[in-house]
Amino acid sequence: MKKIGILEVVVMLSILITSISLAYKFYSNNGNDYEFDGNQMYKCAWVCEKILDKNFPLNATIIGKWTLSKKPFNGEVEIYDAKGGTLYAIYNGTPITIGGELAYQEDIAAKKIILHPIGKSIIFYELDPIEGKSFRDIANKIENTTKNFNIVDVIVEGSMGVDSKTYTPAERQRIINNLDVDIKKGLELYFVEYGIIINGKIHLNTLKNLDKCIGASNISTSKLTVYVVVNNSIDEIPTKIKEKYAIVTLG
């Protein structure tokens, strides 16, 4: 077995100490926002991953510049993924990438990033398969199970078999274009004869509007997981809800 040298030990200890420090900063933050400079992109991406892994929607204020035009950028984005030192976001309905102050491959070179997680807790539960004649029908049945909560957002995860028609290539592309943002965020579409199979996570409001681009005649879902984002801390959620449902908090 190869012996570990003193330099390797120092490096491993440095990584461990840094990880512990980052974790402490994330979990001990008393506010709901997290602020980073453009030279802290790996740290920022790490925090983004932790928030997104818990299924919290995540917005951010980005201050910096467009890498191509060099024009200033100061705007609100929705972050849907983070890898390495790059953030993947939606700005005005368009996917963009965000890097640090010296970024040249990403769309935005950020000087400052302020993360705004949406909600303080997520109440999640499973629903048995649902049948409906339209996406609005399915969405209403899901929404009926959330009426006892102080809702900020609702995200649904599972599969839907949609009876419709066999779409032509041009029709398929139009549907893909309409759902481009959701596809970037991980939603999967499978076009089959006489319909579509939809798989992944989708916001309830998006589900309600799918009838505008997909003409369904019958829909059957798999067992669904519903994530109800609320603006209540764990202490503010009634005991009867905590006893009945699983809950994830931001901290």
The answer to whether 66 and 29 are in contact (CB under 8 A) is no
The pTM score is 0.80
pLDDT confidence of residue 237 = 87
Q: Over 50: is that where the pLDDT of 9 sits?
A: no
Return the domain boundaries, the chain.
6-22+30-117, 121-249
Q: For the domain bounded by 6-22+30-117, which CATH number is listed?
A: 2.30.30.690
Query: Which pLDDT score is estimated for 106?
Result: 95
Distance between CA atoms of 56 and 42, rounded to whole angstroms? 20
As a whole-number percent, the residues of the chain with pLDDT over 70 amount to: 87
pLDDT tens by residue, 125-166: 999 999 999 999 999 999 988 876 778 999 999 999 999 999
Is 90 in contact with 179 (CB distance < 8 Å)? no
Predicted confidence band at 6 (pLDDT cuts at 50, 70, 90)?
low
Q: Quick check: 208 pLDDT over 70? A: yes
So what's the pLDDT on residue 24? 39
In whole angstroms, give the CA distance from residue 39 to residue 189: 37
Across residues 24-40, what is the average pLDDT? 68
pLDDT at 219 over 50: yes
- Banded model confidence at residue 185, pLDDT cuts 50, 70, 90: confident
pLDDT digits (tens, 9 = 90+) for 69-109: 999 999 999 999 999 899 999 999 899 999 999 999 999 99
Torsion over CA: 139, 141, 143, 145 (sign):
negative
- Tell me the mean pLDDT in the region 44-49: 95
Listed range (1-10, 112-121, 236-245) with the worst mean pLDDT: 1-10
Lowest-confidence segment of 1-10, 130-139, 149-158, 241-250 by average pLDDT = 1-10
Q: How far is CA 124 from CA 18, 54, 79, 110, 191, in A?
A: 32, 11, 21, 34, 30
Q: Is the CA virtual torsion 121, 126, 129, 130 positive or negative? A: negative
Least confident of 36-50, 169-183, 192-206, 235-249: 235-249
Q: Quickly state the pLDDT bin for 1 (edges 50, 70, 90).
A: very low
